């Protein structure tokens, strides 16, 4: 089996582990937007913005560091044990700090005290399973990884439907102890409680992996992992800013209603997010494990080309049929005011996926600090454009800021990669596929909106073009 074919197969498995939870979250969007008014949906958004921010701080780049050192360390148990102990100890210290300063943190985050407690319960549980999950990926156990992820999301989705739909609309069938504590006016809190339950179940399922190796903390290994990982943590914080600052600023500079609508429509980019995340899940351990192969750089180049082809197709289909997805997912027309952001956010996420692919150069050459600087640059662009343009352009400025930030990061990473770790990317073909997809999408969205016959024809044009240019390579990959 060819290396590329094996990569695509592993990525499909990890992709399913990513796609299924994301699709289930996608299924919840109609439930949430139908039950929650836009103002209350903004509370849900704020909760997960803070969750993303603290998740980056609590893991401090340890997941990527784990892959880097696990792939080259002979006694792999030392890496696992050191990473696990480090994250456990820092999480316990964090929990103690939260307990001491919780009043100040509640005021800073503008969260209900009960929501605050739920948030940090989720954070602690999710941080403790980072290393066991990374271990499953690094040792080539995508099936186990996928199974636990699926159980997690099923618990979350089932509890969402139970509390937000079944108990709310059919209370006569609910147990009395549930009804005694049920507050339909505080419905958003049940979303967060479902998350705690799902995270708790995941923790219990991965508990056996906590005892798979002898307890050993190697300070020399930790020092190397910290040196490699802390720039990734800073880059992660910058990424959270790029992804979420717009929503907080819209809330403060415009209104909670507009922020809720913006966040709801933002969810329509989930298919691109799924694709990018699935790629990242499979690619990160693959890049490290194959870095010593003779033809590694040629393989990386091919992977990027096919990533762009698939991402461009997803972008084109979603833009051409945007009103179909809008009606299926966001049933409350109150949210549709922000539908114009979707093509921009989709393209921004495609650029982010290309950036993740290009990031192989600084991860393999241990220049994670340079990657940090690129991410900080993107965050600065996001902050400045949002602050100065939202008062002028409204919420559309936030979408354009995301596109400019990720596009800039992509270009900077490409040119720096040429210097430090040159990979023979086929820039002409990659650029052609991107431009073709964007051009056809503009044609569909601006001139043939809701004309689905034209949408199908435009998608066919793109697929035929790709097939005519790539058929020999595709036959070669599939036949091996």
> Which range has the worst mean pLDDT, 67-71, 431-435, 474-478?
474-478
Q: What is the chain's mean pLDDT, rounded?
A: 83
CA 254 to chain centre: 26
Asked whether the predicted pLDDT for residue 10 surpasses 80, the reply is no
Model confidence at 1, pLDDT cuts 50, 70, 90, reads very low
Q: What is the pLDDT of residues 276-323, one digit of tens each?
A: 877 776 666 677 766 677 788 888 888 899 899 999 999 999 999 988
**pLDDT class of 333 with cuts at 50, 70, 90:** low
Which of 39-53, 109-123, 401-415, 443-457 has maximum average pLDDT? 401-415
| 400 pLDDT higher than 90 | yes
Q: Is pLDDT above 50 for 187?
A: yes
Tell me if 307 sits within 8 A of 278, measured CB to CB.
no
Question: d(Cα 343, Cα 346) in Å, to the nearest integer?
Answer: 5
Report CA-CA distances (Å) from 318 to 267, 344, 407, 445.
Answer: 12, 12, 20, 10
pLDDT at position 18, please? 62
Structure-model confidence comparison of residues 119 and 30, the more confident one: 119
Tally of domains in the chain: 1
**Token pair for residue 210?**
């906590």
Quote the domain boundaries for residue 284.
3-479
DSSP 8-state code for residue 218: -
Instruction: Supply angle C-alpha 204, 209, 215, rounded to 5.
Output: 120
pLDDT digits (tens, 9 = 90+) for 132-159: 888 887 777 777 888 888 899 889 989 9
- pLDDT for 184: 59
The answer to whether 302 and 6 have CB atoms below 8 angstroms apart is no
What does the buried/exposed string (b/e) look like for 431-466 if buried means 16 or more CB atoms within 10 Å of the residue's CB?
A: eebbebbbebbeebbeeeeeeeeebeebbeebeebb
pTM for the predicted model, two decimal places: 0.73
When pLDDT is averaged across residues 369-378 and rounded to a whole number, the result is: 90
């Amino acid at each position: 089996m060819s290396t590329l074919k094996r990569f695509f197969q592993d990525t499909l498995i990890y992709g399913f582990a990513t796609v299924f939870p994301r699709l289930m979250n996608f299924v919840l969007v109609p439930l949430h937007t139908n039950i929650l008014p836009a103002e209350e949906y903004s509370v849900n958004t704020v909760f997960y913005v803070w969750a993303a921010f603290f998740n980056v701080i609590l893991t401090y780049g340890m997941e990527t560091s784990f892959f880097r050192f696990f792939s080259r360390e002979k006694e792999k148990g030392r890496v696992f044990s050191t990473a696990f102990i480090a994250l456990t100890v820092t999480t316990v210290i964090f929990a103690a700090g939260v307990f001491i300063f919780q009043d100040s943190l509640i005021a800073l985050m503008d969260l209900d005290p009960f929501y605050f407690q739920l948030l940090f319960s989720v954070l602690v549980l999710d941080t403790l399973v980072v290393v066991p999950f990374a271990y499953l990926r690094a040792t080539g156990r995508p099936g186990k990884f996928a199974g636990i992820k699926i159980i997690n999301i099923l618990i979350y989705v089932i509890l969402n439907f139970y509390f937000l739909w079944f108990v709310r609309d059919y209370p006569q069938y609910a147990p009395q102890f549930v009804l005694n504590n049920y507050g339909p006016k505080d419905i958003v809190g049940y979303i967060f409680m479902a998350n705690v339950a799902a995270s708790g179940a995941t923790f219990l399922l991965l508990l056996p992996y906590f005892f798979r190796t002898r307890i050993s903390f190697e300070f020399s290994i930790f020092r190397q992992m910290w040196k490699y990982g802390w720039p990734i943590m800073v880059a992660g914080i910058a990424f959270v800013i790029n992804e979420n600052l717009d929503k907080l600023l819209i809330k403060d500079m415009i209104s909670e209603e507009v922020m809720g609508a913006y966040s709801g429509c933002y969810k329509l980019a989930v298919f691109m997010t799924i694709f990018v995340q699935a790629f990242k899940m499979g690619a990160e351990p693959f890049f490290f494990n194959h870095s010593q192969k003779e033809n590694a750089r040629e393989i990386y180049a091919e992977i990027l080309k096919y990533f762009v082809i698939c991402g461009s197709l997803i972008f084109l289909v979603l833009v051409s049929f945007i009103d179909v997805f809008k009606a299926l997912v966001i049933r409350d027309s109150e949210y549709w005011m922000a539908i114009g952001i979707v093509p921009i956010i989709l393209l921004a996420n495609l650029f982010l996926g290309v950036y993740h692919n290009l990031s192989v150069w600084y991860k393999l050459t241990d220049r994670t600090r340079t990657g940090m600087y690129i991410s900080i640059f993107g965050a600065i662009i996001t902050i400045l454009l949002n602050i100065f343009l939202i008062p002028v352009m409204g919420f559309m400025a936030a979408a354009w800021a995301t596109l400019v930030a990720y596009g800039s990061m992509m270009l900077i990473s490409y040119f720096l990669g040429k210097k430090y770790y040159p990979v023979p990317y086929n820039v002409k073909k990659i650029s052609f596929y991107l431009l073709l997809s964007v051009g056809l999408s503009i044609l569909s969205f601006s001139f043939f909106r809701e004309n689905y016959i034209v949408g199908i024809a435009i998608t066919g044009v793109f697929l035929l073009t790709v097939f005519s240019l790539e058929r020999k390579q595709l036959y070669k990959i599939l036949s091996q």
